[in-house]
Amino acid sequence: MSESTQLPVPAPLSASLTDAQSDIRDGASASSTDNTCGSGPVPDHTPDQPRDEVRVFRGVPPSGQRPPCALTIGNFDGVHLGHQAMLAALRAAAERLSLKPTVMVFEPHPREYFAQLQQRPELAPARIASLRDKLTSLDEAGVERVIVQRFDAALASMPPEEFIRQILVEGLNVRWLLVGDDFRFGARRAGNLDTLREAGARLGFEVVSLPTVSADGQRISSSAIRTALAEGDFAQAKKLLGHPYMIGGHVIHGRKLGRTIGYPTMNLGVAPGQTSLSGIFVVQVHGLGPQPLAGVASLGVRPTIEDAGRVLLETYIFDFSGDAYGKLVRVEFLKKIRDEAKFVDLPTLIAAIDRDVDHARAWFDTTHRVQSDLATSATDRI
């Protein structure tokens, strides 16, 4: 490897990442270089041993900022239990070998890129979590550097050997590399574990593979979680994720029609492609008080009142009358009640919402009394 070799220039990121990064900056600590940004308030990993704040790079870091690293590569959508096992192994190796624990993720998701290329948006996987949530989860797992690598024509057509030399070795100074046993990379997915092992022996980095992490005999994967979510099976999604499925964001202003029909709602914007969910759900809301608050949510475009509405997540929180505008909250999905519908008029919509609320209250009362007990009025807690 020579110092003068041309490295890929950190490219400006796609629109979706730019949005996510401005999101990240909302609650962020300051950027330290032109192509880094903080990922928000960073909890210390262990109270007695504070670690460095995670740094996020768009593309490979500038020369001079490439300490030897322990690396893993993937999409990490949802940061599920398989990913968490990878990250635990990464962190342990980094500590043992005094390397920077580093993760490379792709933006957009490679399947999103190919779907766009073929003009078949339906082939793009619906995201389980936003980039912001992904960075937060990686940070909480002890990752110190995240490389957000732009997935574009140049990367898609890069031969495996070039990816290893330019990006892994010269760009990231990799010394220890962890991948899953099914890992494929490079043009036409020609590179695999053997390609990496052979290159590692030649170029001076160790390659380790993690055996498959399964639940009930099924490999845990982002795809399996997407399927569970599409089926409204939140218990299964939670089992594979290791945490409940939630959509987070800042509370925004709606049309304020809800309060006039007896159902004021807390609204969150949902980015295109962020979720494939749609319908009416039993939920609980985190972030408005010390305990989650029970409610019922509508996720969709509200066909009864708007012709071409954007996707909104609207939650009617039971027994809540505080002001939530601007707050950062997370809505946890517990059960699907029904699909979104276009009603003939407002009274029919209100009657349907009455039934949704009864349904959700009954669910909390009978099935999950504990959650219901926790989720009483928060007005005095805010």
Ligand X SMILES: Cc1cc2nc3c(=O)[nH]c(=O)nc-3n(C[C@H](O)[C@H](O)[C@H](O)COP(=O)(O)O)c2cc1C
- Footprint on this chain of ligand X (rule: CB under 6 A): 254-258, 263, 265, 267, 280, 296, 298, 302-305, 314, 316, 340-341, 349, 352-353, 356
Residue nearer to ligand X on the CB measure, 144 or 356:
356
Partner interacting with residue 76 (select from ligand ATP, ligand X, none; CB below 5-8 Å by kind):
ligand ATP
Taking the complex as a whole, how short is the minimal distance between the CB of residue 243 and ligand X, in angstroms? Answer: 25
Question: Taking Cα atoms as reference points, which of 328, 355, 347, 302 lies closest to residue 250?
Answer: 328
* DSSP E strands, the chain: 36-37, 55-58, 69-73, 100-107, 145-150, 174-180, 206-210, 214-215, 218-219, 246-250, 266-269, 279-286, 293-300, 312-317, 328-338
Partner interacting with residue 270 (select from ligand X, ligand ATP, none; CB below 5-8 Å by kind):
none
Taking the complex as a whole, how short is the minimal distance between the CB of residue 108 and ligand ATP, in angstroms? Answer: 13
Taking the complex as a whole, how short is the minimal distance between the CB of residue 330 and ligand X, in angstroms? Answer: 18
34 burial type by CB count under 10 A (0-12 exposed, 13-18 middle, 19+ buried): exposed
Partner interacting with residue 148 (select from ligand X, ligand ATP, none; CB below 5-8 Å by kind):
none
One-character DSSP codes across 42-101: ---SBTTB--PPPEEEESSPPTT----EEEEES--SS--HHHHHHHHHHHHHHHHHT-EE
Partner interacting with residue 272 (select from ligand ATP, ligand X, none; CB below 5-8 Å by kind):
none
* DSSP E strands, 185-257: 206-210, 214-215, 218-219, 246-250
Residue nearer to ligand X on the CB measure, 291 or 304:
304
Chain position whose Cβ is nearest to ligand ATP: 180
Taking the complex as a whole, how short is the minimal distance between the CB of residue 92 and ligand ATP, in angstroms? Answer: 15
Taking the complex as a whole, how short is the minimal distance between the CB of residue 16 and ligand X, in angstroms? Answer: 25
Taking the complex as a whole, how short is the minimal distance between the CB of residue 357 and ligand X, in angstroms? Answer: 7
* DSSP E strands, 137-269: 145-150, 174-180, 206-210, 214-215, 218-219, 246-250, 266-269
- What is the DSSP code (8-state) at residue 24? H
Partner interacting with residue 83 (select from ligand ATP, ligand X, none; CB below 5-8 Å by kind):
ligand ATP
* Alpha carbon 12 to its chain's center: 21
Residue nearer to ligand ATP on the CB measure, 128 or 378:
128
Partner interacting with residue 364 (select from ligand ATP, ligand X, none; CB below 5-8 Å by kind):
none
Rounded to whole angstroms, the Cα distance separating 275 from 247 reads: 9
Here the tokens at position 278 are 């749609």
Partner interacting with residue 341 (select from ligand X, ligand ATP, none; CB below 5-8 Å by kind):
ligand X
Contact positions vs ligand ATP (CB under 6 A) = 74-77, 82-83, 86, 125, 179-180, 182-183, 210, 212-213, 219-223
CA angle 110, 116, 118 (to 5 degrees): 105
Taking the complex as a whole, how short is the minimal distance between the CB of residue 360 and ligand ATP, in angstroms? Answer: 31
Residue nearer to ligand X on the CB measure, 124 or 288:
288
Partner interacting with residue 346 (select from ligand ATP, ligand X, none; CB below 5-8 Å by kind):
none
What own/partner pairs with CB < 8 Å and gap ≥ 24 does 307-310 have?
Answer: 310/269, 310/270
Residue nearer to ligand ATP on the CB measure, 213 or 230:
213
Amino acid at 325: Y
Residue nearer to ligand X on the CB measure, 137 or 298:
298
Residue nearer to ligand ATP on the CB measure, 137 or 173:
137
Taking the complex as a whole, how short is the minimal distance between the CB of residue 52 and ligand ATP, in angstroms? Answer: 23
Residue 215 phi/psi, 5-degree rounding, is -135, 125
